[in-house]
């Protein structure tokens, strides 16, 4: 078994299902599916695998999952998270036929936390810090919403603040230029595993390519190590994937979120 095989097995065994949904307010089951409900009217479909389901059976699962969410008037959007290494015959076409739209494909990256820790020189006037205050969290979510094109940043901020109140280990980190947030991301330690995830990395376009994301990643990795975590995982865009690869991270698979909106 190669290192990539070992990391992929660790990903499947440790980072799917419960590990993905620490802030869920409800989880229902439909065959192999976990139908998760988050605060703010967001549904999320995930699974360890599809138990060898045929294309016909998968079509039934998609229809059943969507019926589950449409029956709840508070659900306004649903994400179905797919992985490139899963056996899922017909899933792409069935999701499209039921109103889901695919986002861009992202790379699933895994590597050693210590490989990300570095003394990264920052542009003049830029600082990196962890944030917990409501005003900082809302400013962070607005910036990420602008970068990602998400018009629901206020709802996202409400959900994030709710998680901070539960003190489940999540940390929020930002980079500021003269007091204005220009980059941000969160750290998600996964209880009972060697992993912490780095998520939500967003940098304003005019500040990219200047080491800011790298410094933000280093700060989060150092915090993960302090928590006793050895490995870092990330679903990376084509902006962040090369940065992680230069630190020795491996692309073990891909993930594509499919999104449905009421």
Per residue in 147-194, pLDDT (tens digit) is 988 776 788 899 899 889 988 899 999 999 999 999 999 999 999 999
What is the percentage of the chain residues whose pLDDT exceeds 70? Answer: 100
Helix (H) or strand (E) holding 110, with range, is strand 106-112
pTM of the model: 0.88
Helices 134-148 and 153-166, packing angle to 10 deg: 140
Sorted by where each starts, the structural domains of the chain and their CATH numbers stand as 15-107 (no CATH), 111-253 (3.40.630.30)
Q: What is the pLDDT of residue 17?
A: 85
Percentage of residues in the chain having pLDDT higher than 90: 85
Instruction: Write phi, then psi, for 98 (nearest 5 degrees).
Output: -105, 20
* pLDDT digit string, tens, across residues 22-49: 889 999 999 999 999 998 899 999 999 9
Extract the tokens encoding 158.
Answer: 């409400």
Paired residues of 176 in beta bridges: 127, 181
For residues 64 and 233, the answer to whether their CB atoms sit within 8 Å is: no
Q: Please tell me the predicted confidence (pLDDT) of residue 240.
A: 86
Q: How far apart are CA 132 and CA 130, in angstroms?
A: 7
Residue 240 burial (10 A CB sphere; 0-12, 13-18, 19+): buried
pLDDT digits (tens, 9 = 90+) for 211-256: 999 999 999 999 999 999 999 999 998 888 998 999 999 999 999 9
**Which residues, listed in sequence order, are joined to residue 128 by a DSSP beta bridge?**
175
Q: What is the largest CA-CA distance in the chain?
A: 58
Return the closest-CA partner of residue 234 out of 205, 262, 260, 199: 199
């Amino acid at each position: 078994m190669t290192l990539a095989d070992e990391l992929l097995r660790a990903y499947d065994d440790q980072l799917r299902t419960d590990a993905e949904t620490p802030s869920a307010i409800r989880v229902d089951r439909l065959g192999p599916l976990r139908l998760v409900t988050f605060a703010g009217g967001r549904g999320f479909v995930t699974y360890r695998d599809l138990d060898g389901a045929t294309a016909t059976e998968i079509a039934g699962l998609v229809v059943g999952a969507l019926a589950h969410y449409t029956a709840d008037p508070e659900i306004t959007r649903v994400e179905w998270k797919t992985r490139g290494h899963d056996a899922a015959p017909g899933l792409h076409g069935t999701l499209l036929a039921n109103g889901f739209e695919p986002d861009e494909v992202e790379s699933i990256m895994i590597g050693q936390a210590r490989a990300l820790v570095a003394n990264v020189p920052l542009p003049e006037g830029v600082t990196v810090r962890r944030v917990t205050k409501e005003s900082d969290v809302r400013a962070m979510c607005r910036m990420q919403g602008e970068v990602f094109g998400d018009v629901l940043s206020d709802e996202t901020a409400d959900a994030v603040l709710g998680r901070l109140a539960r003190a489940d280990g999540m940390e929020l980190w930002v980079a500021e230029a003269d007091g204005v947030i220009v980059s941000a991301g969160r750290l998600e330690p996964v209880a009972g595993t060697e992993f912490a995830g780095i998520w939500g990395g967003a940098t304003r376009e005019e500040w990219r390519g200047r080491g800011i994301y790298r410094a933000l990643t280093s700060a989060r990795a150092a915090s993960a190590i302090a928590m006793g975590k050895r490995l870092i995982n990330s679903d990376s865009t084509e902006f962040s994937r090369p940065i992680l690869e230069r630190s020795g991270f491996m692309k073990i698979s891909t993930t594509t979120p499919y999104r449905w909106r009421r």
